[in-house]
Amino acid sequence: RLWPVTCHPHTLDNRKMTALLIICFCLILGSLGKPQFPEQEKDPKFWNAWAQRTLKNALTLQELNKNKAKNLILFLGDGMGVPTVTAARILKGQLNGQNGEETQLEMDKFPFVSLSKTYNTNAQVPDSAGTATAYLCGVKANEGTVGVSAAAVRSQCNTTQGNEVTSILKWAKDAGKSVGIVTTTRVNHATPSAAYAHCVDRDWYSDNEMPAEALQAGCKDIARQLFENIPNIDVIMGGGRKYMFPKNASDIEYPNILKHSGTRKDGRNLVEEWVDRMRNKNGRYVWNKTQLLTLNPNNVDYLLGLFEPGDMTYDLERNTESDPSLTEMVDVAIKILKKNPSGFYLLVEGGRIDHGHHEGKAKQALHEAVEMDRAIGRAGLLTSDHETLTIVTADHSHVFSFGGYTPRGNTIFGLAPMLSDVDQKPFTSILYGNGPGYKVINGARENVSTVDYKGNNYQAQAAVPLNAETHGGEDVAVFAKGPLAHLLHGVHEQNYIPHVMAYAACIGQNREHCMSSSGSAGLRPAFSIVATILSAARLLC
Catalytic one of 31, 114, 116, 128: 128
Nearest to 535 by CA among 382, 338, 526: 526
E strands within 138-266? 178-186, 235-239
E strands within 98-245? 112-117, 178-186, 235-239
Q: What is residue 526's DSSP assignment? A: P
Residue 18 assigned to a binding site:
no
Residue 10 assigned to a binding site:
no
CA distance 468 to 285: 35
Residue 189 assigned to a binding site:
yes
CA distance 272 to 234: 16
What is the per-residue burial (b if ≥16 Cβ within 10 Å, else e) of 56-71? Answer: eeeeeeeeebebbbbb
The kind and range of the H/E element at 393 are strand 388-394
Residue 532 assigned to a binding site:
no
Residue 354 assigned to a binding site:
yes
Whether residue 287 contacts residue 305, with contact meaning beta carbons closer than 8 Å, is answered with: yes
Query: What are the residues whose beta carbons fall under 8 Å from the beta carbon of 442, sequence distance 6 or more?
Result: none
Amino acid identity, residue 504? A
Residue 471 assigned to a binding site:
yes
The kind and range of the H/E element at 505 are helix 496-505
CA distance 165 to 200: 12
Sign of CA dihedral 53, 54, 57, 62: negative
3-state secondary structure of 454: coil
128 is catalytic: yes
The kind and range of the H/E element at 284 are strand 283-286
CA distance 179 to 340: 10
CA distance 8 to 420: 10
Amino acid identity, residue 344? F
Residue 349 assigned to a binding site:
yes
Ordered strands of the 476-481 beta sheet: 283-286, 302-306, 235-239, 178-186, 344-350, 71-77, 388-394, 476-481, 112-117, 491-493
Nearest to 79 by CA among 339, 364, 322: 364
**Residue 386: CB atoms within 10 Å:** 20
Cα angle 271, 178, 396; round to 5 = 80
CA distance 505 to 72: 8
Amino acid identity, residue 67? N
- Catalytic annotation, residues: 128
Binding-site residues, in ranges, read: 78, 189, 191, 349, 354, 358, 395-396, 471
Binding-site residues for Mg(2+), in ranges, read: 78, 189, 191
Binding-site residues for Zn(2+), in ranges, read: 78, 349, 354, 358, 395-396, 471
